[in-house]
Amino acid sequence: MNDQQLIEGCLRKDKRSEKALFNKYSQRMYTICRRYARHDAEAEDILQDALIKVYDNIKNFRAEGSLEAWIRRIVVNTALKMVSKSSFQKEQLGMENYQEAATEPRAFRNLSAEELMGLIARLPDGYRIVFNLAAIEGYTHKEIGAMLGIQESTSRSQLTKARKMLQSLVLKQEKITL
């Protein structure tokens, strides 16, 4: 079934179409949820909420973009609702310990997707969310500020700190491997 057929089936409340849509996108969306969530149980909750929203609001889908992008946006928004604003006020801890580390991109290239997920999961909430939004989803700092209710400058600094922390973590991992 292509996306159009899936949408029409979901509009008719056809269970087969709903299941097909689930099979097609749920695993990819679950990856997104895992990137934002603190643990797998929270990721499952986010995905469940998001998919229910998708089924309930599919009538509002305008074919201006792809269905996957629309679902992805719902998943991201749902994930963000799970994170309180306070996440961005507690992230100063221990940053002075992370020194400027000029890690080459090659170090990340050697890591598998699950290892990268593991690195992201080790980031504090605020860093993780901004890094996901800015580095992976491609939102601008202005958009992130509006989405999270924070200043653009806060978003920028959170991203910088997130990158520093990731590089330090990769460096540490490389040393352990060696």
Q: What does the binding site for another protein look like in residue numbers (CB under 8 A)?
A: 19, 22, 26-28, 30-31, 34-35, 44, 47-48, 51-52, 55, 100, 102, 104-105, 108-109, 111-113, 116-117, 134-136, 138, 160, 163-164, 166-167
Q: Which is nearer to another protein, 137 or 152 (CB)?
A: 137
Q: How far apart are CA 9 and CA 43, in angstroms?
A: 27
- CA-to-CA distance for 124 and 91, rounded, in angstroms? 7
Nearer to another protein by C-beta: 8 or 115? 115
- 166 and 117 Cβ atoms separated by less than 8 Å: no
Tokens of 133: 């939004």
State the minimum distance, in angstroms, from the CB of residue 4 to another protein.
22
Nearer to another protein, 88 or 131 (CB): 131
Q: How far is the CB of 72 from another protein (least distance, A)?
A: 10
Q: How far apart are CB 135 and another protein at their closest, in Å?
A: 4
Reference 33, options 54, 16, 12, 13; nearest CA is 54
Query: What backbone phi and psi angles, to 5 degrees, belong to 2?
Result: -85, 175
